[in-house]
Chain A
C-alpha cells in the first residue's frame, strides 16, 4: 500500500529551499558572525535528508545527480590547494590573504582566502554526511 503524501511533498518543495538558503546565509556569515562551513554543510545535508525522507533514494539521486565521493574529494582538494597558495608564494603554509574589492551588486566587499577553505569544509561535510546516510539507508 502506498500512502498519498501530497502534503509532505508540497511542503518539502517549499521548505527545502528555505533550509538551503539559510545554509548559504550561515556559510557566508561565518567570518563576522556565528556560522561557517561546518554548520552550513550540516544544514545543507539536513535539507537533502528532508528530501530523502519525502521521496525515495532513487528519486533524490535523479534530482541531485551528485557523486558524494567526488564531492568530498573535491572539497579536500580545494582546502589543500588554498593552503598551498602561500607555500607557492614563498610564505608559511596556510598563510591567508585578504583584500577589499568593489563588486557589482555587493559593493565594497572583503574577499578572504579563508572563504575558499571554508568552501572546501562545506563540500566535505555535505559529502561525508550524505555518504554515511546513503550507505546506511540504501539497501542493495
Chain B
C-alpha cells in the first residue's frame, strides 16, 4: 500500500515537471492521472489497489459514528428509567485479529461505544474480556461485535 501511495505522489511530481505547472493544481491533476494509471494496472501489485483501503477506513469511521450514536441513545434510555432493569455482566470475546494495533483499535472502538468496556486482553491476545451494562444474550453480543467492528477492521487490514 505504501509503495502505491509513494508511486502516486512521485507520478504527480513527474507530471508537474513535464507540464511545467508548479502549483497545487498541477499536483492534483498529476495525482488524478497517476490514480487512473494505478487503477488500470492494479493487478501488477501484490496488494490491493490502495483506494479500497482508504474507502474501508472511511466506512469504518462512519460505522463508528453510527454505533456511537445508537449506543448513547441506549444509555440515555437506561438512565431515564425509573427502575433499574439492566443486567450487567462480564463476557469473553474470542477475536481473530492478530496484529497488536488491530486489537488495540478493536478494544478502543468497543470501549468508546457505551454499554461495553474492554477490561482485559488475555496474554496470548486471542480473547478480550468485556464488561457490558445490559447483557441479555452473550452470543448475540459477540455476533454483533464480530459482524460490525471486527469485519470492518479486517476489511481495512486485508492485503
Report if A16-B41 is in contact (Cβ < 8 Å); known contacts: A21-B15, A25-B15: yes
Q: Does B43 contact A63, Cβ atoms closer than 8 Å?
A: yes
Report if A13-B45 is in contact (Cβ < 8 Å); known contacts: A25-B19, A105-B25: yes
Q: Does A21 contact B33, Cβ atoms closer than 8 Å?
A: yes
Cα distance A122–B66 in the bound complex, in angstroms: 48
Interface residues of B in 8-27 (CB under 8 A from A): 10-11, 14-15, 18-19, 25
Report if A14-B7 is in contact (Cβ < 8 Å); known contacts: A20-B37, A25-B19: yes
Interface SS majority for chain B: helix
Q: Does A63 contact B41, Cβ atoms closer than 8 Å?
A: yes
Q: Does B41 contact A21, Cβ atoms closer than 8 Å?
A: no
Interface SS majority for chain A: helix
Could you say which of B19, B25, B34, B43 contacts A17, with CB atoms under 8 Å apart? B34
Q: Does A64 contact B41, Cβ atoms closer than 8 Å?
A: yes
Cα distance A21–B28 in the bound complex, in angstroms: 14
- A residues near B, CB below 8 A? 13-14, 16-18, 20-22, 24-25, 62-64, 105-107
